[in-house]
Amino acid sequence: MAKHKDIQDIGILLANEWKLVPLDDRNWELCHLHVAQPRGGREGGTEPRWYRCGRFYQYNTVDEAMLYVADQLVKAKAWAQHMELGSALVEYRAIAESIRAAASGAVA
């Protein structure tokens, strides 16, 4: 069971900073790669690490995790720059297709 394994070493990469970690034979948790923010005056880390997101998926909803990741990546770009709706949708579709293609390549 993955709950007892270090999430740094396991999982399926969906995009550069997103992966699914198995919890058991039917359930997954989404994880994000980032540098932790300091808490209570302590210094934060300098190296990115995988952190659990608290978003859970079952074996038959993994595609929903992929769509969530695509949504988050488009939102991150929208926070960084102005995007027209058309270009945001094109970006979303491209990200979703790259994730699906990676998943299809892994299955084939």
Give 61 or 103, the one with higher predicted confidence. Answer: 61
CA distances (Å), 95 to each of 56, 81, 98, 102, in order? 21, 17, 5, 11
Kindly list the domain boundaries of the chain, sorted by start residue: 2-107
Tens of pLDDT, residues 30-69? 999 998 876 666 666 678 999 999 999 998 888 888 888 8
Instruction: Answer for the pair 70, 92: CB distance below 8 angstroms, yes or no.
Output: yes
**Packing angle of the helix pair 62-80, 85-107 (nearest 10 deg):** 140
How many whole angstroms from its chain centre is CA 1?
20
Which is more confidently placed, 41 or 97?
97
What average pLDDT is seen over the chain?
Answer: 83
pLDDT at 4: 63
| Per-residue confidence (pLDDT) for residue 33, from 0 to 100 | 94
pTM score: 0.71
CA distance 17 to 102: 14
Tally of CB atoms within 10 A around 87? 14
Interior CA angle at 69 toward 3 and 27, to 5°?
30
CB contact at 8 A, 23 and 29: yes
